[in-house]
Structure 1
Amino acid sequence: MFSGSIPALVTPFGDDGAFDEAAYRALIDWQIDQGSAGLVPCGTTGEAATLTAEEHFGIVAVCVDQAAGRVPILAGAGSNDTRVAADNLRRAKDAGADAALMVPPYYNRPSQEGIFQHFAALATDAPLPIVLYNVPGRTVTDILPATMARIVTTFPDVFIAVKDASGALARVSQQRSGCGAGFVQLSGNDDLALAFNAMGGTGCISVSANVAPRLCAEFQAACASGDYAAALTLHDRLYPLHDAMFADASPGPVKYAMTRVRPGFPAGLRLPMTPANEAACRVVDAALTHAGLI
């Protein structure tokens, strides 16, 4: 269901913090026109942590409506409370999403057994396929390869893929071995996507694709066709942008970058997130120039 370049969509907020639905719908059309192969509303980059549940799944519903079946929708839906995560799955289904992106429980730091039991509970009558999202740098909870293999092999019809943002490239091979060659692996790190794909990945859930959707789509297409020379050229063109997206706390830099490639795009953020500082903005501008986007 998921492969290629899949942007982790920013959520446009006005200066007053209100969701800008018109800007979001225009962003979705632009992303699809530029070649994005799927969309992730209300993930980390979409500032899901500052959305109420009603806002969150209302935004997912807007994304589904605007995409109108042109690409699959992978809705952020994780929680550190298993009961809330189960409710989020139902809400994502009701909003029309094709699958749910689920982090392991964060903050409360369960054991590997607790992680397994969390996802086993969600697999019971799961209304949607689930894409595991392993991002220990944010959750402080790491789905180790053996645990992931246990989850996937126990519930193969539910857990269809992983967004791996562990930063450990060896995981691609370890997860292929444990979960099977057909298990879909998507990079969660733009800067590692070239090596990730070469090792068996099939795409990237991308921050940079918000800003450079066509280039990111072309990069993923080159990887999929086995043209790694072309992929390397595109990687080198995009690499400074990948780096710049984290020159300050995300999504500050990507929100600023959106205003540069789409003038008038609402760049508001909700506290505790703040706009990118001046130094980060200069880094973003240099990266956009290097990529030929401004």
Structure 2
Amino acid sequence: TEVAALEAQRAVDAGASAGLLYPSHGWLRFGYQKGAPQDRYRVVYEESGLPLILFQYPDVTKATYNLETMLDISAQPGVFAMKNGVRNMRRWDTEIPVIRRERPDLQILSCHDEYLLHTAFDIDGFLVGYGNIAPELLLELLEAGKAQNYVKAKAVHDRLLPVTKAVYHRGSHMEGTVALKHALVERGILEHATVRSPLLPLEPGAEEEIKAAIREAGIKKVVI
């Protein structure tokens, strides 16, 4: 936490206006003591003054916060938003309405690249890697979700589905990071999709599959 606070102060000195505060990664293996996440956010904000985004980790990890912890953190000074990536739609459907009711001023951001449609109706924005691939369509989906226009949202979802499947419906979500680069190459944003260890290249044929999905969705190259 001390290191996180120092990094937050460095970010402030460099001009940052907000920070996404990750859980301590020791919690991934063993979980956290009750009250420890709340203390982490308190210390980082008090020592840096950097406004913070609460980061909810996937339900399959031991670093995921229970509802009580999320409500506590989101009530603390300096916490203005939540990036929720719980990846358990039962929890999403039961916890998000409670958070909305109890913390009406909290901005709720979905980071569910593979569950955009499901989460689009309950949020203030997306904070997703997918936004690098097709920000134009994600803005359309977000606007439809805010308007509670399911027909429009489903149409955008269906258009994106080939890309979603090619990039994010893979064996590991980490493969999506590699696939994302191939999508950015197809859009003309990156020159190549080279990755560094511990990431590995995708299997033969994956690059063409991703490029074909981008074309099928009608997503054009970007003029830079």
Equivalence map 1:223-234=2 (5 Å): 223-234=145-156
The unaligned stretches of length 5 or more in structure 1 are: 1-81
Please name the residue that 1:193 is paired with: 116
The unaligned stretches of length 5 or more in structure 2 are: none
Aligned residues: 209
Question: 2 CA distance for matches of 1:143 and 1:221?
Answer: 28
Pairwise CA distance, 1:116: 1.9
Structure 2-normalised TM-score? 0.82
Equivalence map 1:1-294=2 (5 Å): 82-108=1-27, 109-136=31-58, 140-153=62-75, 155=76, 157-168=77-88, 169-170=92-93, 171-178=95-102, 180-198=103-121, 200-246=122-168, 247=170, 249-262=175-188, 265-293=191-219
Question: 1 CA distance for matches of 2:219 and 2:5?
Answer: 41
Q: Which one is further off, 282-291 or 184-193?
A: 282-291
Change beyond 3 A, Cα 1:233–1:263? same
Change beyond 3 A, Cα 1:107–1:280? farther
Pairwise CA distance, 1:256: 1.1
Which aligned segments of 4 or more residues in structure 1 are displaced greater than 6 angstroms? none
Pairwise CA distance, 1:129: 0.8
State whether residues 163 and 210 of structure 2, in contact with CA within 8 Å, keep that contact through their aligned partners in structure 1.
Answer: yes
When you count helix as a share of all residues, which structure comes out higher? 2
CA-based RMSD: 2.2
**Percent identity at matched positions?**
26
Structure 1-normalised TM-score? 0.64
Pairwise CA distance, 1:87: 1.1
Q: Give SS of 1:93's match.
A: helix
Higher relative CO (Cα under 8 Å, sequence separation at least 6) belongs to: 1
State whether residues 172 and 201 of structure 1, in contact with CA within 8 Å, keep that contact through their aligned partners in structure 2.
Answer: no
